[in-house]
Amino acid sequence: MPIAIPKNPLATDPKAVKVHLTTGQGVDIEWKDGHQSHYPFPYLRDACPCALCDQDRVKAGREPGESEKQPPGALPMFKAAAKPTEAAGVGKYAIRFTWNDGHEHGIYSWDFLRAFCPCAECSAARKAAKKPGEGVTRTTPH
C-alpha cells in the first residue's frame, strides 16, 4: 500500500514543530489545518523511511511505527530506548535524526509524518483505508 497523503495542502504543512531532544519525549507538530500530532521517539525510529529500514519492515511484515516482534520463547534483552542524539531540518520539507543506535539515513518529510501520524484518529483512518489482503505499507518506491 503506498503512502496516503492527505488531500488538503495545509494538512502536510507544519505550523509549529517542537523536538524534545533533551527530555526524550518525542516530536510535537501542530499542522496548519489545526491537527496536532505527537510522535514518540521509539515510534519514529520504528517508522524510519529509509530504504534499508523499509526493506526490513516489509520482510518482517511490520507497518511503519510498529516495533519489532520478539520470536516466541525468546528471552527479552535490554535495549536502550530509541532516542535521537541530533535533529536537523532538511530544507523546508523534512527533518532528519541521528539515533543513539548510530542510524542516520531516514529523512522524515512532512508528508510522511502526516501520513503516519500515530494519533487514534489517523491510525483508524489508515486501517480503514487498507484493503483486505493488502501487504504492509511501503515507505519507499518499489
Q: What is the pTM of this model?
A: 0.85
Position 31 scores a pLDDT of 96
pLDDT of residue 10: 63
A 10 A CB-CB count for 18 gives: 12
pLDDT at 92: 93
Predicted pLDDT of residue 40: 97
**Cα separation of 88 and 94, whole Å?**
9
Residues 6+ apart with CB under 8 A from 129: 1, 4
Residues lower than pLDDT 70 in the chain: 1-10, 140-142
| CATH number for the segment(s) 9-67+81-129 | 3.30.2020.30
Q: What is the pLDDT of residue 72?
A: 77
pLDDT for position 142: 40
pLDDT at res. 70:
75
